[in-house]
Amino acid sequence: MALRPGDELRQELIALFAAGAGPGAELTEERFGALALRVFEHQFALNRPYGAYCRKRALTPATVDDWRRIPAVPTAAFKEVALVAGDASAARVVFRTSGTTRGMERRGAHHLLDPALYHASLLAAFEACVLPDGARPALLSLIPSPAEVPDSSLSHMAGVLLERLGIAGSGWFSRAGSLDHAGLATALRRHEREGTPACLLGTSFAFVHWLDALQAQGERFALPPGSRLMDTGGYKGRSRDVDPGEMRRAYAERLGIPASHQVNEYGMTELLSQYYDAALRDLVLDGPGEPRRKIGPPWLRALVTDPETLEPLPEGATGILRHVDLANLDSVLAVQTEDLGTDVGDGFLLLGRAPGATPRGCSIAADLLLGALRDSPP
């Protein structure tokens, strides 16, 4: 069978990811840069909207020689056009963002021609940050299964984790849009009796609701040592926002899981790799570390950029985050967010969304993309 465009690069990246994201799996700056420029060249050639956008900005493979200068698209761009390096109709998987006030038809879409690259990246990063001690606990998911939400990247991720890493006793505890409180309680009591650790997976939103219910019922668990949880997203309850420190205390009080084994994940539909709290990895490798920063696998890099110009800022400055993800081979590897962050050592502190209107730099980038599409119709 003839190779498709990008197949050799895809296999090289899969092999890189499969080598893992833990200690000893470093990716040098030189090699990361070289791979990023190759991915950029591939996307410039095959992703028509992105290629037009790059030409509009006068940033092409002929003029860009540093991965930091690869043109980034704002996350909102995924709502406007199919950003796929190839034929969108050939995508084997399409992930969609959650509905917005603009309507379900304006949901962003991320097309994957081949999900193997995504699977290799997510497994390596999860094992490095959530299972850095080599543990294999049962995975108990508060996230809906991919059968229920087939276009959710988070549900797909949880499905891959349960399929590849789940042991006996792993399972789903969100059904038809509701948490199975009784089934989850039964499973956790079994882990208490048998002394076997569990790993809970869920959105922070789901955990807040569940912990509220446990508090109202006066119920708590004492999960065995080695138990842990991964939550994803911010801490928003039914009628209030919850301070992360308060949430960590609630996890410890209601579930018996110490703060060191609570790992918050930071990801998005527009990225195929994920960042995680470094707390558990730090504990396993070097003892407790501070601060509780976000780290990613070696093939995912974050830049803190100026909200006005989108230019990278000096180390230690606060700005809006741009992510460069080699796993995004089938779309656009450089994604500009509206999330605030600050560089800290080998990671960054996530400070939430930029307040107020869309940052000027993101608005300009979105306007340039739409202008490029008008100037270069199919």
pLDDT tens for 209-250 read 999 999 999 999 999 999 999 999 876 555 567 788 899 999
Per-residue exposure over 101-134, b if at least 16 CB sit within 10 Å of its own CB, e if not: eeeeeebbbbbbbbbbbbbbbbbbbbbbbbbbee
Query: Which of the 8 DSSP states describes residue 348?
Result: E
Q: What mean pLDDT, rounded, does the chain reach?
A: 91
Which pLDDT belongs to residue 152? 96
Give yes or no for residue 34 having a pLDDT over 70: yes
> How much is the average pLDDT of 336-354?
92
Which pLDDT belongs to residue 78? 95
Which pLDDT belongs to residue 314? 92
Q: Which candidate, 157, 136, 161, places its Cα nearest to that of 146?
A: 157
3-class secondary structure per residue, 141-206:
ECCCCCCCCCCCHHHHHHHHHHHHHCCCCCEECEECCEECHHHHHHHHHHHHHHCCCEEEEEEHHH
Give yes or no for residue 326 having a pLDDT over 90: yes
Which has the higher per-residue pLDDT, 16 or 287?
A: 16
Percent with pLDDT over 90 in the chain: 78
Q: How far apart are CA 209 and CA 216, in angstroms?
A: 11
Prediction pTM value: 0.93
Percent with pLDDT over 70 in the chain: 93
From 77-86, 203-212, 281-290, the region with the lowest mean pLDDT? 281-290
Q: What share of the chain is helix, strand, coil (3-state, %, to 5)?
A: 40, 20, 40
Place of tokens 């497994």: 123
Which pLDDT belongs to residue 103? 46
- What is the domain count for the chain? 1
Which pLDDT belongs to residue 247? 92
Which pLDDT belongs to residue 104? 46
Q: Residue 298: give its domain's CATH number.
A: 3.40.50.12780
Which pLDDT belongs to residue 105? 52
pLDDT band at residue 377 using 50, 70 and 90 as cut-offs: low
Which pLDDT belongs to residue 308? 92
Which pLDDT belongs to residue 22? 73
Which pLDDT belongs to residue 348? 96
Q: Which candidate, 49, 78, 50, places its Cα nearest to that of 64?
A: 50
Which pLDDT belongs to residue 288? 66
Place of tokens 């761009």: 77
Q: Could you report the per-residue pLDDT of 127-170, keeping only the tens digit for each?
A: 999 999 999 999 999 999 999 999 999 999 999 999 999 999 99
Structural domain harbouring 272: 1-378
